[in-house]
């Protein structure tokens, strides 16, 4: 008994409001509008996810609900056609919005891959430096330390001799 005009009014009004309001977020998806944020470097934080509250996903949820839950098999042909037309319109809108969502997620993936590459290079450099520090030959270090000790002892001995020098030792006594 539902007329096409009544069905159109319902789909554009009360039914659409269930998906557009913040109540709709709780009712249909239970998710937050806040995407997952990740630190990918010391100075860069970015959104690394999307959520079910984006327009594209809301439109798809609306289509699935219309087709599955509005009792389409009990509608007359004209009212059913209104439901189908609205479903097709919403699918087209979702299809138009989905590339933006994919682009945002793809951009985040590319930035994460780039950050991972930079971190891998930094890790390699740090590992090489640590390896250079840890890879010191103990025998060579011992030889160098012994050589430095000998040089210091020689310097002390020369300094002690210089301190003992006095002009009085070289002046003839009369």
Is residue 13 over pLDDT 80? yes
Is residue 10 over pLDDT 80? yes
In this prediction, residue 160 carries a pLDDT of 86
Integer Cα distance of 87 and 66 in angstroms: 7
For the segment 12-16, the average pLDDT, to the nearest whole number, is 89
- Return the sign of the alpha-carbon dihedral for residues 127, 133, 134, 136: positive
Q: Which residues contact 72 (CB under 8 A, 6 or more apart)?
A: 66, 80, 83
In this prediction, residue 93 carries a pLDDT of 94
For the segment 141-163, the average pLDDT, to the nearest whole number, is 91
* Mean pLDDT rounded to a whole number for the chain: 86
For the segment 141-167, the average pLDDT, to the nearest whole number, is 90
Integer Cα distance of 42 and 57 in angstroms: 33
Is residue 90 over pLDDT 80? yes
Integer Cα distance of 67 and 15 in angstroms: 13
In this prediction, residue 23 carries a pLDDT of 65
For the segment 84-109, the average pLDDT, to the nearest whole number, is 92
């Amino acid at each position: 008994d539902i007329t096409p005009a009544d069905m159109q009014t319902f789909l554009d009004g009360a039914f659409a409001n269930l998906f557009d309001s913040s109540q709709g977020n709780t009712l249909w998806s239970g998710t937050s509008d806040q995407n997952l944020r990740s630190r990918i470097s010391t100075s860069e934080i970015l959104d690394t996810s999307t959520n079910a509250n984006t327009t594209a996903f809301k439109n798809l949820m609306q289509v699935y609900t219309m087709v599955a839950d509005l009792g389409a098999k009990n509608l007359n042909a004209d009212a059913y056609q209104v439901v189908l037309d609205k479903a097709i319109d919403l699918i087209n809108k979702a299809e138009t919005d989905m590339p933006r969502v994919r682009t945002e997620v793809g951009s985040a993936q590319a930035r994460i891959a780039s950050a991972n590459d930079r971190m891998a290079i930094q890790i390699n450099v740090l590992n090489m430096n640590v390896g250079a520090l840890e890879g010191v030959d103990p025998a060579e270090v011992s030889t160098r330390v012994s050589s430095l000790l000998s040089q210091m002892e020689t310097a002390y001995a020369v300094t002690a001799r210089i301190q003992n020098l006095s002009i009085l030792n070289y002046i003839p006594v009369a």
